[in-house]
Each structure stands twice: as C-alpha cells, then as structure tokens.
Amino acid sequence: MDFAKVFEKATPLLWEGAAFTIKVSLISLLIGMFLGLIACLMQLSKSKILKALSGVYIWIIRGTPMMVQAMLVYFGIPQIANLIIKAMADGGSFERFTLSPMSAAIITLSLNAGAYLAEIFRSGIQAVPKGQTEAARSLGLTKFKTMQKIVLPQAFKIVVPALVNQFIITIKDTSILSIIGLSEIVNKAGVYAGSTYQYFETYMYAALFYLVITSILMAVSKAIERRLNRGHKEQ
C-alpha cells in the first residue's frame, strides 16, 4: 500500500471534487431552505389543500431513496420534457432537452433538503412562545407582519444548528449522486482509483476529505449552539 503516492497524485483531483461538492451542497441547501420554508408555512396554514400538497411532497421525498429520485430527475425530466416538446413541434424538428449532472444533483438535493427542513422550520416556529404572537396581533400587526417581523427571526435562530447539520447531511448525500456522473469527491476518487487500481488507499483518502469537512462544520454547529444557549441564559 502506497499512501504517500496516492496523497501526492490524488490530492489535486480530490481538492477539485471537494470544492465542487461544497458548491453544489451550498446551492442546494439555500434552495432547500426556500422550499422547506414554503412547505412549512403550507403545513401551518388553515387551508386543507395547502396542507395536503405539502404533506404529499414531504411524504414522497422522505419515503423514497435519494438514488431513485436522482434517476427520476436525471433521466425522467428530460424524457417528459422531450415528449412535450415533440408534441408541440407537431412533427417538425426540435432540439432535445437534457439535464447536466450538476443541475440534476441540485434539483435532487434541494427537494430532499426542503422536505427535511420543512419539519425543522415547523418545530422552530412552534418553539416561539405564543404570547409574542398574541402581543404582536394586539398591537395591530397582520398575520404576515407578525410572522415576518416576530416569529421567523426567532425561529431562524432556534434552527441554525439544525441547518448546519442539514448542510453536513447534504454534503455526504452528494456521494450518492456520483451514480449520475456528478464530479464530486467519490467520483474523482473513482477516476483516480480506476486508473491506478489503488482502491483502498484512494477511498480511504476520500473518506478523510469528508471527515475533515464534516468535522469543521460540526465544530461550527456546536459553537453556534453554545452562543445561542449563552444568549438565552443572559436573557
């Protein structure tokens, strides 16, 4: 086993994969936060239709494997889109629609993160004392303004550690998406290992990359949690 050689030769590839992994994960988390907040507010609304739509979305995403979702997005969306485009072209020529691995990965990861963040946001909103909402309403604030100015800022502070944890999960989930050709850490490790046959050393090194990234984020999460707890005690 030649770990020194793998360290020297594979490092540029894995660094490239790590940067791409963090980029895709961050974009996906931001989109997922938006989707999660919308799904959360739909769950908390009085409309049965909105609640049902949000519930179905969360149920489907949380109840199916990400690998299957990635395949449906990467192969299914272009297939459906091309059927629609073909029908609209009415027998004429048309340019086929395709999805890049990066686009498919972001869609898949965003949908996944959104389904889990919806529950995280809901717990954060419900943790805000109801007395504050009632006080805001008694002062003449509308439901929208109360949610925007009073509830959401406090709920966001409560869920920050959970958001960091979801970011860690999203980073690790990118490894599954190497199956559709996403150029993340596992994919880059596979390229190097396939050309050198040093599978054990390469994948051990890839695991170390994940461990370093997630350890840093876990330390950040704990630091934020300690600061928030200290703030609550001071209040």
Structural domain range at position 55: 3-234
| Per-residue pLDDT, 220 | 86
Asked whether the predicted pLDDT for residue 234 surpasses 80, the reply is no
Average of per-residue pLDDT values in the chain: 88
In sequence order, what are the residues at sequence separation of 6 or more whose Cβ sits closer than 8 angstroms to the Cβ of residue 155? Answer: 121, 124, 125, 127, 128
| Per-residue pLDDT, 11 | 86
| Per-residue pLDDT, 64 | 95
Of 191, 159, 186, 160, which is closest to residue 173 (Cα–Cα)? 186
pLDDT digits (tens, 9 = 90+) for 117-162: 999 999 988 888 888 888 888 888 788 788 888 888 888 888 888 8
Which CATH number fits the domain that encloses residue 207? 1.10.3720.10
pLDDT digits (tens, 9 = 90+) for 87-119: 887 767 777 888 999 999 999 999 999 999 999
pTM above 0.75, yes or no: yes
Domains in the chain, number: 1
